[in-house]
Structure 1
Amino acid sequence: MEKYEQYVRVFNQFDTNKDGNISPTELNHCFGLIGGEMTAEEAEAAVVLVDSDGDGLLCLEDFVKIVEGAGEEEKASDLKEAFKKYEMEGSGCITPKSLKRMLSRLGERRTVDECKSMIAYFDLNGDGVLNFDEFKVMMSR
């Protein structure tokens, strides 16, 4: 089954009154059915945050944004964890030495100069190290 079809199926489950929209009440109710906890205020805030036409309801496109956005948050969290493994202890950046150390742990032998070259390719601001934003660019290739 295609991903979009799955979204439609789940959307239709949440849309209990079958009006083609999900209200904050419906969102709150269905979230509880799947084992989540959401207050009425949180449901209202979630709808307001994503509601593209300002009618106080989620259309299918709004719902897809929420579902896909949750996946993006998970990816960002995973990237942050990976970045922490490569960065120089709490410095907020990946240096050639910290990259060499991590690659060595992964069984890849590189010289500091090779690591400098690898970093230089993705070093957008030219400071000789990778910050998190530059790391995200590197990992997306």
Structure 2
Amino acid sequence: MEKIAQPQSSFMKLCRKLSPKRKDSAAESQHIKNGDHDKNRHIEAVFAYMDANKDGRISPDELQKSFMTLGEQLSDEEAEAAVRLSDTDGDGMLDFEEFAQLIKGDDKCSEEEKKMELKEAFKMYIAEGEECITPRSLKMMLKKLGESRTTDDCRVMIRAFDLNDDGVLSFDEFALMMR
């Protein structure tokens, strides 16, 4: 069962990586209608990214390749288990509704699970041997995600959440940004 939970957590990480302005705070629950629309738009973007052949469905192979693009490994068995977990029509693929349910179902995870997910996501943004997100490491990760930014753009992004003005993001600053 743990191997199945791993892909779900990774889906949420992927959503957050592709949609860094995603918010889940209770203060924003007043705007549920707009929030749901924005969240669905983000899920649609992730779905479109993973649906490499644009057939409206994500196969275990497409899922696995998407993870590799992001520098994560997903075994054949894990990819198949992730698809099987939410494949309600039994076709061996995830259509948009099944994919959205898989991602939305992850919203119910515990605070400890969310913190672990954040730590894993944070590690993806830091360069080897570093302990924080630098403009250079942010630029490299955004490039892997297909988003081209200059180092100066990345400095501006970091500055928006850099509470101690040291020019980098610590895990705590990253966690605040992701809320």
Report the TM-score, using the length of structure 1 for normalisation.
0.51
**SS of corresponding position for 2:57:** coil
Aligned counterpart in structure 2 of residue 135 of structure 1, from 95, 99, 103: 99
Q: Which amino acid aligns with 1:103?
A: F
1:117 correspondence with 2:98:
no
Cα distance, 1:112 vs structure 2: 2.6
1:95 correspondence with 2:42:
no
CA 90–69 in structure 1, closer or farther in 2 if over 3 Å, else same:
same
Unpaired runs of at least 5, structure 1: 8-63
Q: Greater relative contact order (Cα 8 A, min sep 6): structure 1 or 2? A: 2
Q: Which amino acid aligns with 1:126?
A: G
How far apart, in 2, do the equivalents of 1:122 and 1:138 lie? 6
Cα distance, 1:99 vs structure 2: 0.4
Cα distance, 1:106 vs structure 2: 1.6
Query: Which structure's CA Rg is the greater one?
Result: 1
Unpaired runs of at least 5, structure 2: 1-25, 107-179
How far apart, in 2, do the equivalents of 1:3 and 1:103 lie? 32
* Identical amino acids, percent of aligned pairs: 24
After superposition, the CA RMSD in angstroms is: 2.1
Retained in 2: the 8 A contact 1:88–1:95?
no
Aligned counterpart in structure 2 of residue 81 of structure 1, from 23, 45, 52: 45
Q: Which amino acid aligns with 2:90?
A: G
- Count of aligned positions: 80
- CA-to-aligned-CA distance 1:61-96 (integer Å, 9 cap, x gap): xxx5xx321111111111100101111321101101
Q: Please list, as runs of the form range in 1=range in 2, the aligned pairs for 1:1-141 lying within 5 A after superposition.
A: 3=27, 67-140=31-104, 141=106
**SS of corresponding position for 1:90:** coil
Report the TM-score, using the length of structure 2 for normalisation.
0.41
Q: Which amino acid aligns with 2:86?
A: F
Cα distance, 1:107 vs structure 2: 1.6
